[in-house]
Structure 1
Amino acid sequence: MNNQYKLLALDMDGTLLTSDHIISPVTSEWIQKAKDKGVHVCLSTGRSFESALPYGEELGLLTPMITVNGSEVWRAPHDLHLRSLMDTKLIAAMHDIAVAEDCWYWAYSVERVYNKDEWVDEIEGKEWLKFGFHTEDDDARHRILMKLQDMGGLEITNSSPHNLEVNPQGINKAAGIREVCGLLGLDMSEVIAVGDSMNDLAAIQAAGLGVAMGNAQQVVRDAADFVTTSNDEDGIAKVIEKFIFM
């Protein structure tokens, strides 16, 4: 039995969830086994708290949770530990870029998600967490990336090859997991971090064991210590079996 790892930090979309956005029975069963063995299981997602919570409840998780790519860290469901807000001027500037490029965009405020179809009249009056762009036009996405890099003060990742996700600089899942380790009295060497996209890269590089899903972007696979099977082939179950129960 391997007791080296005490925390399993799981990305959701493309990792924990299948392509149908469900947790497979096999993956759920192995997560319960890990919990029964005393391993903390932490959702680490770009999703909002409200969007992630039902899956945490389905798994019976009462442990810390990382949402909005690390802009929020929760001690337990509904118990906020840390929230990192984005300057409203940066949100306004990114909105201008999105409009100029005519791409799909969205932004997370503390109370809800806004998008191209339902935008907010008054940016100043909100507490902002994250901004996102989506376009399948590679040239447009590259232009957006260049403009974002020129702005500075931003943490730029993605959750699919066609999007860009933007948080305040220094806010990412690795920083979120460090906060969780602090809450649980653990070291980063005791963490298994699993993911598939650029917003998982920092966590995969910082964790004791960084795991990429079989469906992960190539740069994430290259950075990982181990590549498991895809999210539709119970990749997480195989990680738990191999590294927590071997």
Structure 2
Amino acid sequence: MGDHLLKYKLLALDMDGTLLNDNHQISPETEKWVLKAAEAGVHVCLSTGRGYNEAAPFGKQLGLDTPMITANGSEIWKSPRELYRRELLDKAIIAKMYDIAQEYGIWFWAYSVEGSYNETNWKPELLERNQWVKFGYHTEDDGIRHQLMLRLQDLGGLEITNSSPYNLEINPAGVNKASGIRTVCGLLGLDMSETVAVGDSLNDLAAIQAAGLGVAMGNAQIAVKENADVVTASNNDDGIALIIRDYILS
């Protein structure tokens, strides 16, 4: 089947809670259908909040040589070996977000080009030295999470999402998986109407709204399901395989 016959030519896949099951693995069935899509000429693009080093091995497992979106869109890779664009967070903002984590006594993580950091390996001198692409907080306390949201909104210039109901993920304003997919479409000469975006969390919402076909996993957060064109099976039940079979290759 020639790819010119396909309605959808780009499949953008979130990883955690979507491509990966709860054991953080790609099931054999999902892998089989992703490979079928790639063989049919679909560009399969990993689109993740993970940093490059935590995402690339799964692209390699699937044999993908296509573009990749990492750190929620702060990094766009033309191929797994070639960076196309990177958007950095201001160092002063990182310093403020770190201070807020200390103030509330909550878990944080910070992704930089040079490595990823949290409470266990943070050093003040990293702040000036590193190039920062994403910051995150985790707390199961809804009240604290709400206060964090308000504090972050006050800082301004930030894109605030999540990758689970208990965390917040912070990128530069306007940087998200939808902006990432638009950039990838530009690289591949595709239109947004030719894309399928699949995900489960608020960091997938913009992409699901912007794509030609927006798909929420069965395990997705309610706001994501409400904004999707289709809700598929969960990440433990090969939800992606069903979408490839029924919507992309049918």
TM-score (norm 1): 0.99
- 1:162 match: 166
Which residue identity lines up with residue 71 of structure 1 in the other structure?
A: S
Alignment of 1:169-184 (within 5 A): 169-184=173-188
Q: What is the match of residue 118 of structure 2? A: 115
Equivalent residue of 1:12, what SS?
Answer: coil
Alignment of 1:85-124 (within 5 A): 85-122=88-125, 123-124=127-128
**Deviation for aligned residue 1:121:** 1.7
* Partner residue in 2 for 1:143: 147
Does structure 1 residue 201 correspond to structure 2 residue 205? yes
TM-fit CA distance, 1:3: 1.3
Quote the Cα distance in structure 1 between the aligned partners of 2:81 and 2:70: 12
Shift of 1:120: 2.2
SS of 2:159's partner is strand
AA aligned to 2:27 is: S
Query: Take 1:109 and 1:55, find their aligned partners in 2: how far apart are those partners?
Result: 20
> Tell me, which stretches of 5 or more residues in structure 2 are unaligned?
none
Quote how far apart the aligned CAs of 1:244 are: 1.2
Tell me the distance in 2 between the aligned counterparts of 1:112 and 1:245.
Answer: 39
Q: Distance in 1 between matches of 2:80 and 2:98?
A: 31
Separation (CA, whole Å) in 2 of partners of 1:146 and 1:220: 21
The number of residues matched between the two structures is 246
Unaligned residue ranges in structure 1 (runs of 5+): none
Deviation at 1:111, TM superposition (A): 1.2
Amino acid at match of 2:190: L
User: Once the 2 structures are TM-superposed, how far is the Cα of residue 178 of structure 1 from its aligned partner?
Assistant: 0.5
Q: Distance in 2 between matches of 1:66 and 1:244?
A: 21
Deviating beyond 2 angstroms after TM superposition, the runs of 4 or more aligned structure 1 residues are: none
- Aligned counterparts of 1:116 and 1:167: Cα–Cα separation in 2: 19
Code of the aligned partner of 1:158: N
Q: CA RMSD in A?
A: 0.9
Which of 7, 15, 20 in structure 2 is aligned with 1:17?
A: 20
Aligned counterpart in structure 1 of residue 35 of structure 2, from 32, 37, 41? 32
Counterpart check, 1:234 vs 2:238:
yes
Equivalent residue letter for 2:226: D
SS in structure 1 at match of 2:244: helix
CA distance in 2, matches of 1:196, 1:243: 18
